[in-house]
Amino acid sequence: MSADPQTIERRQQQLVAEFSAVEGWEERYRKIIALGRELPVLPDELRGEQQRVRGCQSQVWLHAELDDEGRVIFRADSDAMIVRGLIAMLLRVYSGQPPRAILSASPGFIEQIGLTRHLSPTRSNGLHAMLEQMVYYAKAFQTLLAARDPQR
């Protein structure tokens, strides 16, 4: 996913608006699955134990790297279609943003869309595990950037 100048808040608002336009949870699940189908396949070399997200019922791999402009670029995949869609949503919100922005953002869109109420407990726990892993990477990259340039 390429860098985007939009803020995390604006990206969240766009997702909430997209899901608000969809009637009923059966259709929303279809939309989540469609987002997952659009997610590029993660190469095998990024599907190791080091990239696995713990706490997910399904297999989920999350790779993060820092680009030349200090933005975190996330790539991810899962063996379950609904989970691929959930991770695609997280990537749309957080990928391409600076670590500081990721760390200061509240994931309000999860509640606003209704995911907390409509996902099974195991899927909801997995979603939060994926988000926690993204925050973990952002903290690590923020520490790295601060060591390079204390002004960050």
Question: Catalytic residue at 123?
Answer: no
Sign of CA dihedral 34, 83, 1, 7: positive
Span 143-151, average pLDDT: 84
Token representation of residue 71:
């933005």
Check pLDDT > 80 for residue 5.
no
Does 8-144 carry CATH code 1.10.357.10? no
Q: Which of 35, 39, 56, 91 is catalytic?
A: 56
C-alpha separations of 23 from 37, 63, 84 in Å:
20, 33, 21
pLDDT-derived band at 150 (thresholds 50, 70, 90) equals confident
Over residues 55-97, the pLDDT tens digits come to: 888 999 999 999 999 999 999 999 999 999 999 999 999 999 9
- Residue 6: pLDDT band with limits 50, 70, 90: low
Domain boundaries, the chain: 8-144
